[in-house]
Each structure stands twice: as C-alpha cells, then as structure tokens.
C-alpha cells in the first residue's frame, strides 16, 4: 500500500525506516520465540477454563520451569549490533526495555487476549492507565467522546475534568437512550465509551446497539468490562472494538495487585474510517511510520505500545503481571462462586423490611432485566447496590455493625466488601448532586466474595438490625418491588450532559 502523498521528506542524514512487508498482528504478542522452538501451540480450539490456565504460556526454554517465570529486569541483551538494530526497527519481534514489553507481562497480555477472543492486549499499570492509553492513542486536542453517564467515578473525572485541560471534550448520555447517543455525535467525535455494568446502579450496556451506532459513523466502541470479566461477557462478540479491565478487580481477584489491561479486537478499519490520521498518516515520532500500513491486524496496539507505553510509561510491572496470572488461573471457578453467592445475598436483601430497594439486573424489576438475561446468561456479576431505609446514620450504623464485610474502596476481592458512598467516596456532594448520581443517604454498595453465603447473610442480618435501631421513619410505605439505583439516575439526569456530578473517587 503506498504511503500518503503528504508524507514529509526526511531531513538530510536522518535514517528512514526501512519498508518491508507488514508484520501481521505485530505486536499482539511481543514474546520473542527462537526459531528452533517454533510458534506457540494454538489455543484457538481450547475452551475458556483451559485458556485461563494455559494461554500465552509454555515451559521456560532455559530451565524447563512450568510456571511462568518473573523476568525481573529493566532491559534485554542484544546478540549483536544487527540484532539490536532489527529490534529497534521492528524487523523482528523481541524485547528491548520492560517499559515497552516484558516476557512475564506478555504472557498476561496473551492470556487476557485469548480469554476475550481479541487480537492482542497491552498490560498497564492500572485500569485508569488502560483507559487513558486507549484515549491518548485514538485522539488528541480538538477531539470529542460520547460516553455513558453510568461510569466509575474515576472515569467520569478523567473524561470530564482532566481531559478537558488537554482539549478533549466528553458528552455523557444515559446508556440506554440511543437517540441521545446519536444526537451527541459531532464531526470531531472519535470514540463511544461505556461500561458493561454501570457503577453503582448496574445499568446494562447494550453493546450491540451502541456498536451499530458507532460503526454507522465509522467510530470505534470502547467498553470497560471490569465488572463482568470475559467469563460472564465477551464484548467483542457483540461488536465492541476495544475492551479494557481494571485487572485489580476480578481478574486478579484477591485485592493484592494493581494493574490494567487494554485489549484490541483487531476488527476496526482505521483506513476505511477516514477519521484517524493518527493511524493513516506518517508518524514523525517513528521515522514516518504509517501504523495502518505497518500492521494489517492491530495498528491500534502497535501505536499504543510504540508511542503510548514509550511516552507515557504507564506499563505493568512484571511482578504484578505474575500475580495477576495467578488470579486468572482460577477466574472461572471464582466467578461462578461470586455469582452464586451474590444471588443468595440479593434474594435475602430484596425481601428484608429494612431494605427499600435493590439494584441488581437479575431482579425482574430491574429496568435492564431482559437485556441482562440476553447478554449475561452466566450471571450479572458480584457487585450491586441497595438502599437502606433511613438516613445517613442508618447507613453508618449498618457499615460499622458488619464483621465479615471489609469496609474499603475496592470491588472484585475474594473477600466481601462494603462501602457507604454518601459518607465516603461521594461525601462532598450535596443532596442534589447525590440524587443525580443515583445515590441516597441509604445507598450501600456491596462486592460479594467467596465466603459461605449463609455467613454473609448472618452478618447482614446483624447489621440491618443495627441500622433499623437508628433509622428515622421513612415517608410512605415499603416499595413493593426492588428498584434500580440507575432508575434514580435516569430520572434526575438529562439525556445528554457534559457536566456530571463529581465524585471524590469510585
């Protein structure tokens, strides 16, 4: 494919990147494998549980170690000058510096890509780093994003406050209002973005419907699948183009390791889109490389790694990658138990007199119940919120009476977790802002772990009794059926807005 007619001339004495046949898929998997060993065994025929254990890994060629080694090194030796030049010029796959790629991190990347059925992945320092990397790779100043209003608080802040300083604007719309998504599009829009399950109301994202809107306007769809993991939902199968996770949560699963991962489906055609000069025009930062020409499968990954990791540096540490791999090995077993336990707890809370409403998509009264049944046949995850009867004092009394649930700002741990948003993550908000965020004084968010569900229910019973002692009488009778916190958000927020209520953190 010829280069752009507008390609600048190289300055005298500056070496030009040597042209060659495109390296197909480079670099979904940056592991360098000696020719004598041959390519890695195919994993395409294996099922999910097998991929969780084996994808991306092989016995160590030097020692025979079966478990993935931790390559705790900053840099990698070159065999000779030609080998060094070939690696820097991307004429052969291999590792140069661990900020760009590392063998331990590469196994993690390959495994998540296999579980998501993607073309490849990039490990990042956190989930927020993965989101930033996706946006920074796709666009620059003067660009625009359309995003779901049902987002993790940190994502809201990044999009609405931080990126505005760098010339990137975001319009937030209700996740299920497709007319609002279309109306929010602008000539400079570069991305549609949402979460599989919104935080904290658990709005279910209709990925296929949004993908249709995005692709009709030649735009990619980015999905945060942290709450669902590939065990419950694989967004690429519904039309998403990019997927990312806070691997800190369910992928790692033990509350010990911070990390993120950004996965490319390899299906978005940047050249046909005509909206992304970042991929179709020469990049001066790499000797005039045209990323869409250089990789026929994953130009997004190529630029994200060669520019994003190189320049922003938010890479995944090899030790963190190894710890996350340990978590992924048991992901199918853990997610199954998470869902079973969550259903038991939701059933208990939905029938308790001290609980006003429960927001969980498997409940028939949740507004996205039908969509959840279609998209999430294995379950709607292990994070949900519910509203206590009473005021903030009741919520605090409930939290402080718990003994098994850990009171902290995280989800996706093997241990059950709880937080009271109105007095912690959103405590600076006034009543109107809390209502716009779908949060009341009695809203409690739970992340259900792997304990015996009867023990969790016993713990909740004690805490609910404590909350009832401090609860002020609520006006009106008990809600007949559980309602979603997302419904409160939907009635309080306009269809499209660029000024969401600002939480302190997630």
What is the per-residue pLDDT across 297-340, written as a single tens digit (0 to 9) for each? Answer: 899 999 999 999 999 999 999 999 999 999 999 999 999 999 99
Do the domains 331-494 and 35-328 match in fold?
no
Order of all β-strands in the sheet with 496-497: 120-124, 260-264, 242-246, 221-224, 189-195, 144-148, 169-173, 496-497
Q: What is the DSSP string of 19-35?
A: P-S--TT-SSS-----G
Interaxial angle between packed helices 331-350 and 453-470, expressed in degrees from 0 to 180 and rounded to the nearest 10: 40
Structure tokens at 436: 């716009």
| Residues contacting residue 216 through CB under 8 Å, at least 6 positions apart | none
Q: In the chain, where are the structural domains located?
A: 35-328, 331-494
Kindly indicate the confidence band of residue 38, based on its pLDDT and cuts at 50, 70 and 90: very low
Q: How far is CA 121 from CA 31, 112, 215, 366, in A?
A: 12, 7, 22, 34
Greatest pairwise CA separation for the chain in angstroms: 81
CATH of domain 35-328: 3.40.640.10
Please provide the average confidence, as pLDDT, over all residues in the chain.
86
> Which range is least confidently modeled, 101-110, 390-399, 495-504?
495-504
CA distance 234 to 231: 7
Cβ 262 vs Cβ 236: under 8 Å: no
Instruction: State residue 459's pLDDT score.
Output: 99
Q: Which fold has domain 331-494?
A: 3.90.1150
Instruction: State residue 390's pLDDT score.
Output: 86
Give which of 260, 214, 257, 218 is closest to 239, Cα–Cα: 214
Cβ 90 vs Cβ 303: under 8 Å: no
Kindly indicate the confidence band of residue 74, based on its pLDDT and cuts at 50, 70 and 90: very high
Kindly indicate the confidence band of residue 437, based on its pLDDT and cuts at 50, 70 and 90: low
What pairs with residue 444 in β-bridges?
386
Instruction: Specify burial of residue 332 (Cβ count, 10 A radius: 0-12, 13-18, 19+).
Output: buried
CA distance 262 to 50: 22
SS3 126: coil
Cα dihedral 337, 230, 124, 302 in deg (nearest 10) = 170
Kindly indicate the confidence band of residue 416, based on its pLDDT and cuts at 50, 70 and 90: very high
Helix (H) or strand (E) holding 489: helix 485-492
The answer to whether residue 25 scores a pLDDT higher than 90 is no
Interaxial angle between packed helices 103-116 and 318-329, expressed in degrees from 0 to 180 and rounded to the nearest 10: 40
* Beta-carbon count within 10 A of 221 CB: 26
Q: Which residue has the higher pLDDT, 32 or 213?
A: 213
The DSSP output letter for 306 is I
Instruction: State residue 14's pLDDT score.
Output: 31
> Which range is least confidently modeled, 58-72, 128-142, 466-480?
466-480
pLDDT digits (tens, 9 = 90+) for 101-131: 999 999 999 999 999 999 999 999 999 999 9
CA distance 227 to 195: 8
Kindly indicate the confidence band of residue 153, based on its pLDDT and cuts at 50, 70 and 90: confident
Q: What does the pLDDT average to over 212-223?
A: 99
The answer to whether residue 360 scores a pLDDT higher than 60 is yes
pTM: 0.86
Instruction: Specify burial of residue 430 (Cβ count, 10 A radius: 0-12, 13-18, 19+).
Output: exposed
Cβ 92 vs Cβ 74: under 8 Å: no
Kindly indicate the confidence band of residue 213, based on its pLDDT and cuts at 50, 70 and 90: very high
The answer to whether residue 84 scores a pLDDT higher than 80 is yes
Instruction: State residue 473's pLDDT score.
Output: 54
Cβ 227 vs Cβ 385: under 8 Å: no
The answer to whether residue 187 scores a pLDDT higher than 60 is yes
């Amino acid at each position: 494919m010829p280069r752009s007619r507008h390609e600048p001339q190289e300055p005298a004495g500056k070496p030009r990147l040597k042209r060659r046949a495109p390296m197909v898929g480079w670099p979904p998997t940056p592991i360098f494998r000696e020719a004598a060993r041959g390519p890695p065994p195919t994993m395409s025929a294996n099922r999910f549980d097998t991929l969780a254990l084996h994808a991306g890994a092989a016995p160590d060629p030097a020692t025979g170690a079966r478990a993935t080694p931790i390559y705790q090194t900053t840099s990698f030796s070159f065999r000779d000058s030609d080998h060094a030049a070939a690696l820097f010029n991307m004429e052969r796959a291999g590792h140069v510096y661990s900020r760009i790629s590392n063998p331990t991190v590469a196994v993690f990347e390959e495994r998540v890509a296999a579980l998501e059925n993607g073309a490849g992945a990039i490990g990042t320092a956190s989930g927020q780093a993965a989101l930033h990397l996706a946006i920074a790779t796709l666009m620059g100043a003067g660009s625009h994003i359309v995003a779901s209003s049902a987002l993790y608080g940190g994502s809201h802040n990044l999009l609405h406050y931080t990126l505005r300083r760098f010339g990137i604007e975001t319009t937030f719309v209700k996740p299920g209002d497709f007319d609002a998504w279309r109306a929010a599009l602008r000539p400079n829009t570069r991305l549609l973005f949402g979460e599989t399950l919104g935080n904290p109301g658990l709005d279910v994202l209709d990925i296929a419907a949004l993908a249709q809107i995005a692709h009709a306007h030649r735009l990619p769809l980015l999905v945060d699948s942290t709450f669902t993991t590939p065990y419950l939902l694989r967004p690429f199968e519904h039309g998403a183009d990019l997927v990312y996770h806070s691997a800190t949560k369910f992928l790692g699963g033990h509350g010990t390791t911070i990390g993120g991962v950004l996965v490319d489906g390899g299906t978005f055609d940047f050249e046909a889109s005509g909206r992304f000069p970042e991929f179709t025009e020469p990049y001066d930062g790499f000797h005039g490389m045209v990323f869409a020409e250089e990789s026929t499968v994953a130009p997004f990954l190529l630029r994200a790694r060669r520019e994003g990791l190189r320049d922003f540096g938010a890479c995944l540490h090899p030790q963190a990658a190894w710890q996350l791999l340990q978590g992924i090995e048991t992901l199918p077993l853990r997610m199954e138990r998470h869902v079973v336990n969550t259903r038991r707890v939701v059933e208990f809370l939905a029938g308790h007199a001290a609980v006003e409403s429960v927001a969980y998509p498997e409940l028939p009264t949740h507004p996205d119940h039908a969509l959840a049944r279609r998209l999430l046949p294995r379950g709607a995850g292990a994070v949900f919120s519910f509203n206590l009867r009473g005021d903030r004092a009741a919520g605090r009394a409930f939290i402080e009476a718990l003994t098994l649930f850990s009171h902290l700002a995280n989800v996706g741990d093997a241990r059950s977790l709880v937080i009271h948003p109105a007095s912690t993550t959103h405590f600076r908000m006034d009543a109107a802002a809390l209502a716009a965020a779908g949060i009341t004084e009695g809203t409690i968010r739970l992340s259900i772990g792997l304990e015996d569900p009867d023990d969790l229910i016993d713990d909740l019973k004690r805490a609910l009794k404590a909350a009832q002692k401090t609860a002020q009488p609520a006006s009106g009778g008990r809600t007949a059926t559980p309602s979603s916190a997302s419904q409160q958000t939907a009635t309080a927020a306009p269809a499209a807005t660029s000024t969401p209520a600002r939480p302190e953190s997630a």
